[in-house]
Amino acid sequence: MRALAEFIMRGRMQAIVVMAGAAALPMLFWLSAAAGSLVLLRRGLDDTLGVLVWAVLPALAWWYFGDPRTLLVLLGAFGLALLLRSQNAWPRVMLCSVGVGLLYAVALSVAFGEPIAAVAAELQKMLPNILSQAYQQLSLEERTQLEALLIPVLTGLLAALLQIVTLLSLMLGRYWQALLYNPGGFGLEFRALRFPPALAMLLLAGMLFSPSLNVQLAMLGPLCSVPLVFAGAALLHGLVSQGRMRRFWLVGLYVTLVLFMQVIYPLLVVMAIVDSLFDFRGRASPNDAGPANGEG
């Protein structure tokens, strides 16, 4: 990882090779976004635009052939990296990622509208078996409302996956920046991630009440959950760093997150909300590592 980061920062041509090459290859768009984030975070907007253009070209080609993910993640990570460079505040970046995810949802509904509708139709047929007796107890109007939520929720879930990939790409770029210029800085930043109670409640309200406001707003539910999941993971990392939990819990978290996501994912959301109220990590202790950008 360090060797790749050093190669990217060696010069303009090296950065173009990694960003454009990763954007052109299938399933490596996250690497292109991470490399672009690194260059932007370290060198600023003016020095990055000329590099970004070469990564956008293959991303546009992918969109032309029906896959918008490369361009969406690349531009999304670029925008969030610009915000992180100017504000140096992860809670604000996480909150803005909801807006980025909403733009993803709109783009995905245009690009993949028919496949999403087909999956929703299949799920609609399976609802009586999935919900069993609970489905039979619903009125005709409630069944209609439930079925109308399928397409927005599926679109929101797909957009939330891209939102997660975007944030992970940005974090990888930030980690590379800290690795090269201020080792340990990214870990301190991530472990300090915590939402104030008002913001945590706002995200929770978006998760729970957006479907009741408007059917199309149901896609906000998955998008609002993503920042809280990252904050929940940051809480566990912080407690382990303070010695209040053993490192084994982190291994267990990521293993069970893969195997039992439907259980661990909402648990992380709950942990983030409770931590916003009680601040289990306490005030950050003074340290000498400074910001991850190595410039503070």
- Encode pLDDT of 199-256 as tens digits: 999 999 999 999 888 888 999 999 999 999 999 999 999 999 988 888 888 998 899 9
Domain assignment present for residue 41? The answer is yes
Domain assignment present for residue 38? The answer is yes
Domain assignment present for residue 279? The answer is no
Domain assignment present for residue 48? The answer is yes
Domain assignment present for residue 54? The answer is yes
More confident residue, 142 or 190: 190
Q: What's the total number of domains in the chain?
A: 1
Domain assignment present for residue 47? The answer is yes
Residue 94 predicted with pLDDT over 90: yes
The pair of three-digit structure tokens given for residue 63, joined into one six-digit string: 């969109």
Confidence at 292, pLDDT banded by 50, 70, 90: low
Domain assignment present for residue 39? The answer is yes
**Does this model's pTM top 0.85?**
yes
Dihedrals φ, ψ of 109, to 5°? -65, -30
Domain assignment present for residue 36? The answer is yes
Q: Describe the crossing of helices 90-111 and 220-241 by its angle, rounded to 10 degrees.
A: 150
Mean pLDDT of the chain: 91
DSSP assignments along the chain, one per residue: -HHHHHHHTT-HHHHHHHHHHHHHSTT-HHHHHHHHHHHHHHH-HHHHHHHHHHHHHHHHHHHHTT--HHHHHHHHHHHHHHHHHHH--HHHHHHHHHHHHHHHHHHHHHHSHHHHHHHHHHHHHHHHHHHTHHHHTS-HHHHHHHHHTHHHHHHHHHHHHHHHHHHHHHHHHHHHHHHHHSTTHHHHHHHT----HHHHHHHHHHHHHHHHH-SGGGGHHHHHHHHHHHHHHHHHHHHHHTTSS-THHHHHHHHHHHH-HHHHHHHHHHHHHHHHHH-TT-SPPP-S---TTS--
pLDDT at 287: 46
Domain that holds residue 32: 1-87
pLDDT at 293: 66
